[in-house]
Amino acid sequence: VSDASGCSMIALLHTGAAKFPQNLLSRARQAVFPLLPAGVLKGFSSIVSRKLASHGFGASMAAMSSFPPQRYHYFLVLDFEATCDKPQIHPQEIIEFPILKLNGRTMEIESTFHMYVQPVVHPQLTPFCTELTGIIQGMVDGQPSLQQVLERVDEWMAKEGLLDPSVKSIFVTCGDWDLKVMLPGQCQYLGLPVADYFKQWINLKKAYSFAMGSWPKNGLLDMNKGLNLQHIGRPHSGIDDCKNIANIMKTLAHRGFIFKQTSKPF
Residues tagged active-site = 81, 236
Rounded Cα–Cα distance for residues 86 and 229 (Å): 31
From CA 13, how far away is CA 244, in angstroms rounded? 34
How far, in Å, CA of 11 to CA of 9, rounded? 5
Give ∠ CA 199-151-198 in degrees, rounded to 5: 10
Phi, psi for 34 (deg, rounded to 5): -65, -20
CA 265 – CA 77 distance, rounded (Å): 19
Q: Kindly tell me the number of DSSP H helices and DSSP E strands found in the chain.
A: 11, 6
Report the C-alpha dihedral over residues 145, 149, 150, 154, rounded to 10 degrees. Answer: 160
